[in-house]
Amino acid sequence: MENKTKIVGIYDFNDAVILVEMIIDEFPGDIDFGGFCVPDNRFEKSDWQAAYMEQYLNSDGTDKLCEAYDTPAEQSKPSRITFFLFKTSQPILSTSYGDFSIAEVQELPDRLAKIIEFDPFD
C-alpha cells in the first residue's frame, strides 16, 4: 500500500515561525505529535524543537475541523494537519512517519491565513 504521508507546504507565517502543512496516512486520534521534532546536534534531544499548536483541516485544506489542539470527532484518514515550528537553519523535520525537508519556505496561502489560529509562545 502506498504511503500517503507527505508535506503539502512549508509557509512563512510571521517573523518567528513557519507553518507546516502535512497529510498523514493515519486517523487523527492515532497521530502522536510528541515524535515530531527538528533534530539539532547543538542541543540535547530533549531540547529539540517540537510541533506547536496542531490544527486539523478538511481534505482540501480550506477549513478547520476543530479548535487548535483538539482532535476531530470524526475519525477518517488520511489526516490533513498544520502546526508551527520556530524558523531554523535546520532543514529536516523528523517524525514517526519519516523525515521531511522543511528548507523550502513559501508564502502563506490565503486559504490558511483566514483560518489558522496562532498563540504566541510563552
**What are the pLDDT digits (tens) for 77-114?**
999 999 999 998 899 999 999 999 999 999 999 999 99
Q: Would you list the domain boundaries of the chain?
A: 6-25+34-101
CB distance 100 to 18 below 8 Å:
no
Nearest to 59 by CA among 37, 29, 81: 81
Question: Which residues touch 80 (CB under 8 Å, ≥6 apart)?
Answer: 8, 21, 22, 23, 56, 57, 58, 59, 61
The predicted model scores a pTM of 0.93
- Summarize pLDDT for 49-87 with one digit per residue, the tens: 999 999 999 999 999 999 998 999 988 999 999 999 999
Please give the full DSSP string across 4-69, using - where no structure is assigned: --EEEEEEE-SSSEEEEEEEESS-GGG--GGG-EE--TTS-GGGSEE-EEEEEE-TTSSSBSSSTT
Q: Please report the sign of the dihedral spanned by the C-alpha atoms of residue 27, residue 28, residue 33, residue 36.
A: positive
Q: How confident is the model at residue 122 (pLDDT cuts 50, 70, 90)?
A: low
